[in-house]
Amino acid sequence: MDKNIRICIIGGGPAGLSAGMYLEKKGYENYVIYERNDRVGGKCWSPYYNGRRYEMGAIMGVPSYYAVEDVEKFCGITHDGPKLNRNYKDGNGNVIEPFARTLGNIIKNPWLLKML
């Protein structure tokens, strides 16, 4: 495909920013991202008010969201909020891995068989 073709991306959320990043990495430069708001980020935006950050959508800055972290690095975005991490806990507060491919989890969660 011609690298000079004009490309329009609708939406400056995680998907739109990712599309722009991957296009640029492949050598395409003639693209534009249209966003209806006065900022990009979509549901990844956490406004700052009265000295605190408030989560308004998906918590996309979590280090385990590797795809979004790649876009943030590409765009030069840094985090000024607390480091976030996601884990799952059982009823006793012990950290568990509910999607681990172990026999116990498959027996307890038969729907995981469909995922395998």
User: Does residue 73 or residue 100 have the better pLDDT?
Assistant: 73
* SS3 state of residue 108: helix
Q: What is the mean pLDDT of the chain?
A: 75
Per the structure, the complete domain to which residue 99 belongs is given by 87-116
In this structure, the answer to whether residues 13 and 69 fall within a common structural domain is yes
Q: Is the pLDDT of residue 78 over 50?
A: yes
Residue 113 lies in a domain: yes
Q: How many domains does the chain have?
A: 2
First and final C-alpha spacing in the chain? 36
- Alpha helix ranges (H) inside 1-116: 14-25, 66-75, 103-108, 112-115
Are residue 54 and residue 94 in the same domain, yes or no? no
pTM, full prediction: 0.56
